[in-house]
A and B are shown apart, each in its own frame.
Chain A
Amino acid sequence: MAEQHTAADGKHKASPNAGGSLHGNSRTNAVGGGGGKGGLSGGLAQPAGWQSLLSFTILFLAWLAGFSSRLFAVIRFESIIHEFDPWFNYRSTHHLTTNGFYEFLNWFDERSWYPLGRIVGGTVYPGLMVTAGLIHYVLNLLHLTVHIRDVCVFLAPVFSGLTSISTFLLTRELWNQGAGLLAACFIAIVPGYISRSVAGSFDNEGIAIFALQFTYYLWVKSIKTGSVFWSIGCCLSYFYMVSAWGGYVFIINLIPLHVFVLLLMQRYSRRVYIAYSTFYIVGLVLSMQIPFVGFQPIRTSEHMAAAGVFALLQAYALLQYLKDRLTKQEFQTLFFLGVSLAAGVVFFTIHIPIIASVSEHQPTTWVSFFFDLHILVCTFPAGLWFCIKNVNDERVFVALYAISAVYFAGVMVRLMLTLTPVVCMLSAIAFSSVFEHYLGDDMKRENPPIEDSSDEDDKRSSGNLYDKAGKVRKHVSEQEKAEEGLGPNIKSIVTMLMLMLLMMFAVHCTWVTSNAYSSPSVVLASYNNDGTRNILDDFREAYYWLRQNTDEHARVMSWWDYGYQIAGMANRTTLVDNNTWNNSHIALVGKAMSSNESAAYEIMRSLDVDYVLIIFGGVIGYSGDDINKFLWMVRIAEGEHPKDIRESDYFTPQGEFRVDKAGSPVLLNCLMYKMSYYRFGEMQLDFRTPPGFDRTRNAEIGNKDIKFKHLEEAFTSEHWLVRIYKVKKLENREPLEHKLRSIVPRQKYTSKKTAKRKRGHIRNKLVLKKGKKLNKK
């Protein structure tokens, strides 16, 4: 871990300096080129070589730092898949590697959503699995015997390196190389991105951010060059993005928005026309090849903006063409305005439902902005301002990207992820400009390079085809322009401040990564007073018990949160899982959990349930357990079965949700309560609390006398975190609930023997008086 710290710090110290010295190289390397500095110019005879070596090294270090700071969980625990969704991805990747690609595409998973099943091939974004499977395949082809689990675990950290490289490329296109390197370093360690890409978090977002950044890079490139080649590249990258994540909708709306704004700003050119027409047509066709996406791109409202802008662009191009022929310019502009306004109205009215549809999650708080982005959240408006001040085609793009991403991130906390890259880029631009200004002691001040698209050809020609130095201009004049009153003290102070900020940023990133985002959540750890660590491995204990000691086709009922984990770790059939596509099925499970035992038994029998698995945190004080989630089950069940389940029944008359004696009797007798607290009433955790004291809710439970008729405890993990109950089969003969009616036999047929006995009696027999025992207090 110390290594990581030093790596991160070292990189951060290195990168701004590198940025500065890069400028030094790309500009004149010395003013005194006249007599004295001949030696220096000899040493740096090939600044281009130096520059690429330096960029290469910095990018490599950024990759390394990004990779290693994502390994906290692996070092602390082990190489394991985290959380919930990754377990499904891992399971399907495993399926892909064992059965082949076509089998995967046609996979009908009969082990989930019993008895419905799930068509996995058609309901997933296969990019992630195919990527991991491909890497695994190639490695095995080279006889590198790596287990597919390790490929899955380390996929996201490896892709974070690719993300930083594509961020570098994109920022270089937007600003300059120094800013690009800074941006690459930022994105490598920024917590907002790490939160979704630590080792073990094998999820779509891990590779999707790379695809997103790379698509944007290629898009900017194709806008700049107007070449079909880059456009096709952009389409392929977009295709990869579509195959990887549902967030591709962001691209297919942002790029048309960019084109639209360019049209509004009268920045139309042939390059835009070529780039967008190619992108739209080829991208559309490619995106429809993903089975899960299918015909959505021509049906749903999210994709209509792209189509609208495409039509608008064609119309505009036609008008431009006509304008060359006709001369009625007033008419043209009027027409243009009318069309664009109409299109704009259409665009935004269409756009609103998207926002509404994704806003189901919580809005982001300021704290989480700062937590995930730290100093970058303050500096990125500056970068945005720089971009807008020196605007050109691609900077319009980044501005739009920033504004829309900020909006989405504000609406929904999960979309912080799409904001992070643009924040990194713009902050890098801000830092880079500041350093350029204050670090440039011996460089001639120039305006920020406005590399307009026309500059591109020139740049390309001076590219690396020949091993020739870049432009070296040695200024002969020794005079310095007046430095706008900036003394060396101010310069160094500002520089130091900036470096301090960057250092604090690096420290913050490492801290957040280590403390907040590096827990596998499958394995829990607790620390004793002496610093030693206890590992609570209850989840895996119970899942592995299911895997080993239940019938292979046993059906396990649990709340949907644990569906993927049961399928992945226990390899058993589940009723509902995290792919919450069938609400009524979930409601049925919720109803079973919130009904009383006999009603629940009816439901469970109709669903062929063999085992019921619940999470109970009362013994160790784990707050994410099923009792705490219970109200959701009730609510969802009520939504579908309002006659049988009413949420208000589960509250006390005062409207509280309590598990102790004051709790509502419906709650105290429902299946979930009984399963959670079965035999818990006898358990005394320590001497200060009464038996049956729930540590999570800090209450003594209300119903301690729990008996089951149709269920029996099958397994409880060591810390009671997971409890599994077996659903008994119907008995051959139903036992009677009540005692047999005692029929007083008539005295007629009594035999002599008994009659004799009856006649006799013991004298002075003590009479047993029935009474109650006094409660000892």
Chain B
Amino acid sequence: MARSIPFCAVTTCLLLITGLCYRVAADGLVNEEVKRTVDLSTHLAKITAEILLSNQGDSVVHSFILAVEPDLAPNLAYVGASVILSHILRPFPTHITQAERQLVVFQGNHYLYSPYPTRSQTTRVRLASKTVESYTKLGNPSKSDEAIEYGPFHDVAPFSEDALKVHYENNTPFLTISSITRIIEVSHWGNIAVEETIDMRHTGAFLKGPFSRYDYQRQSDSGISSVKSFKTILPASAQDVYYRDEIGNISTSHLQILEDSVEVEVRPRFPLFGGWKTHYIIGYNLPSYEYLYTLGDQYALKMRLVDHVYDDQVIDSLTVKLILPEGARNIHVETPYPIDRIPDQLHYTYLDTFGRPVLVVSKNNLVEQHIQDVVVHYTFNKILMLQEPLLVVGAFYILFFTVIIYVRLDFSITKDPAAEVRMKVSSITEQVLTLVNKRFGLYRHMDEVVNRYKQSRDTGALNSGRKTLEADHRTLTNDISSLQARLKAEGSDLTDKVGEVQKLDGQVKELVCRSWQEAERLVAGKVKKEAYIDNEKTLSTKRLELVTRIDSLLDTL
């Protein structure tokens, strides 16, 4: 009783043989019908096999073995729904001029390379163009537009090989990323910065002879195998995209924001011909809430280990650096496929004290199918979030404090007694000035009182005003005299001037008293109004004169 297992290369368990024969026939599996498709329309070889499998043995089979030819093994990039081989298409001729088209050779196997015998099989080769220079003619294949059909072949022995060789025209971009460094920097302040440094080269047929811009611009089929631009698809939430190299921004790019992605039309500074290479940096920011998951102190970052650069990409060497926040501990990584861990590093950037942990992983020979998520688990104490603001606050605090200390304290190593005295004297004169001003204020106040008295004829108010004036005046004069004494003690020559001011002030005081008496007399009717006005005028001119003199004295202080 034969049990057939329809198989589409997606198996529960997959084993690979890339080497010598293996003792396998024992479990009695047979490939009943195989439909093999070799897709050579890009610069990759994608080999898909639809296998109808039957178990002719007695025991139950849980797994079966998929084998790859030993010659192709070094080029094997990915095994999944199809086997993908990179760098398997060899340009032939290896050097072409700008006007020529690119011809490539594929060397493979007519048969399915399998540890089991095959009953019947067909192989279909899909090409990139109609132009085919030559192809092996095993079993009289039929060639349609862009495909060659081999077979059906019957009863093929296990591990049988027969060289399939196709030499055909293929002008698809033969771009290869010779190395890419992807830096993912996670910040708990809500941002994930991604930066990719890419070394890229055109691995098709080398350009021979001159590159003529005239032909390139005027003839559409000139340099047909060269690469002018390609599209890079970034995550939909990517912001602040930049595209630059060592000498600055590359101004030839375009950015298009679509609903589910951000598309960058990456145009290198110059078109890439065979053998030419370029180097650039592309970077963007992502909001962390889409990629960072948290539960208490537990964090999980789920991001693509490698992202899309161009369709059907080939990456020779990938290095991913995951920079986690400062203070992240218990880090462990779940990768979708085995990759090499390189010892962790530390990274220092803004406001870091003990460095951020950096996970470094690397892998060679990747293709588009490797765009899968990696998950990084780590714990992070949320208190540490405060560290950076506190650092800034502390720095400013120290700055201001230093300034305050510097301004307040005297750091001079010499002492200048003269300057010291001068300072004291100037502070005393300062006080004298304020006091003298106050005294003038008193006089003005008294004038007002007198005026009010002239209208209201209230002797009581006048007298009380006079009393307060006299009292205040006395205290002020005493204060000034004491200050004068202190000035004298300091040995300043300003003492005399202050004394003169005092003397003049006495005269002013007298005048004020007289004007007040005059007013009293006027109110009492002892003087006539005209006489009073005359008197008042002379008094005020005298007073003004005195005040001016005092002013000039004060100015010299």
Contacts and interface: CB of A to CB of B under 8 A. Distances in A.
B245 A544 contact: yes
B488 to A, nearest CB: 21
Interface string A473-486: 11111010000000
B427 interface: yes
Contacts of B387: none
B211 A714 contact: yes
Contact of B279 (A145, A548, A715): A548
B257 interface: no
Contacts of A543: 247
Contacts of B407: 464, 467
Given A457-B419, A465-B410, A716 B550 contact: no
A149 B269 CA distance: 20
A682 B269 contact: no
A472 B212 contact: no
B248 A541 contact: no
A679 B437 contact: no
A717 interface: yes
Interface of A: 33-35, 38, 77-80, 143-145, 457-458, 460-462, 464-469, 471-477, 479, 523, 535, 537, 540-545, 547-549, 568-569, 679-680, 682-683, 712-718, 720, 726
Contact of B441 (A35, A461, A467, A468): A35
Interface in B530-557: 544, 547-548, 550-551, 554-555
A518 to B, nearest CB: 16
Given A477-B547, A569-B247, A143 B213 contact: no
A189 B251 CA distance: 30
Interface in B491-535: none
A455 to B, nearest CB: 13
Nearest to A571: B246
B278 A548 contact: yes
B423 A466 contact: yes
Nearest to B249: A78
B214 A712 contact: no
B472 to A, nearest CB: 14
A476 B547 contact: yes
Contacts of A475: 551, 555
Interface in B48-78: none
Contacts of A715: 211, 213, 270
Contact of B349 (A145, A465, A540): A145
A537 B252 contact: yes
13 contacts: A34-B437, A80-B248, A458-B422, A464-B407, A466-B423, A468-B427, A476-B437, A476-B547, A523-B248, A537-B269, A548-B276, A568-B247, A716-B212
A679 B277 contact: no
A542 to B, nearest CB: 8
Contact of B214 (A33, A477, A683): A683
Contacts of A33: 437
A646 to B, nearest CB: 32
Nearest to B557: A473
B430 interface: yes
Nearest to B555: A473
Given A34-B441, A476-B550, A537-B251, A714 B210 contact: yes
Contact of A461 (B408, B419, B544): B419
B65 to A, nearest CB: 45
A143 B214 contact: no
Interface in B423-452: 423, 426-427, 430, 433, 436-437, 440-441, 444-445
A471 B437 CA distance: 15
Nearest to B410: A465
A717 B437 contact: no
Contacts of B278: 544, 548
B350 A143 contact: yes
A725 B8 CA distance: 55
Contacts of B426: 462, 471
Contacts of A544: 245, 247, 269-270, 278
Given A78-B249, A143-B349, A713 B551 contact: no
B533 to A, nearest CB: 21
Interface in B209-233: 209-214, 218
A541 B250 CA distance: 9
B548 to A, nearest CB: 6
Given A476-B437, A476-B554, 12 more contacts: A35-B444, A35-B445, A143-B351, A143-B352, A461-B416, A474-B433, A476-B440, A476-B550, A477-B548, A540-B248, A545-B269, A717-B213
B7 interface: no
A78 B437 contact: no
A297 B184 CA distance: 55
Interface of B: 209-214, 218, 245-252, 269-270, 275-279, 348-352, 407-408, 410, 416, 419, 422-423, 426-427, 430, 433, 436-437, 440-441, 444-445, 544, 547-548, 550-551, 554-555
Contact of B350 (A34, A145, A471): A145
Contacts of A474: 433, 437
Contacts of A461: 416, 419, 422-423
A535 B433 contact: no
Contacts of B427: 468
Nearest to A538: B269
Given A34-B441, A80-B248, A143 B348 contact: yes
Contact of A34 (B246, B270, B422, B440): B440
Contacts of A716: 211-214
Nearest to A458: B422
A91 B7 CA distance: 61
B39 to A, nearest CB: 31
A731 to B, nearest CB: 14
Nearest to B247: A569
Nearest to A716: B213
Which 5 A-B residue pairs are closest in the complex by CB-CB distance? Answer: A716-B213, A713-B210, A712-B210, A535-B251, A541-B269
Contacts of A680: 214
A461 B407 CA distance: 14
Nearest to A444: B555
Contacts of B249: 77-78, 80
A145 B348 contact: yes
Contacts of A458: 422
Contacts of B348: 143, 145
A602 to B, nearest CB: 22
A619 B73 CA distance: 52
A714 B276 CA distance: 12
Nearest to B423: A461
A466 B424 CA distance: 12
Given A33-B437, A143-B352, A540 B213 contact: no
Contacts of A568: 247
B110 to A, nearest CB: 40
B38 to A, nearest CB: 33
A217 B221 CA distance: 69
B548 A144 contact: no
Nearest to B216: A716
B540 to A, nearest CB: 12
A468 B423 CA distance: 10
A333 B147 CA distance: 111
A720 B350 CA distance: 43
Nearest to A537: B251
Contacts of A472: 430, 433
A615 B346 CA distance: 46
A568 B247 CA distance: 9
A726 B209 CA distance: 10
A35 B350 CA distance: 58
A34 B251 contact: no
A472 B408 CA distance: 21
Contacts of A540: 247-248, 269
Contacts of A144: 350
Contacts of B352: 143
A600 B532 CA distance: 114
Nearest to B406: A464
A663 to B, nearest CB: 22
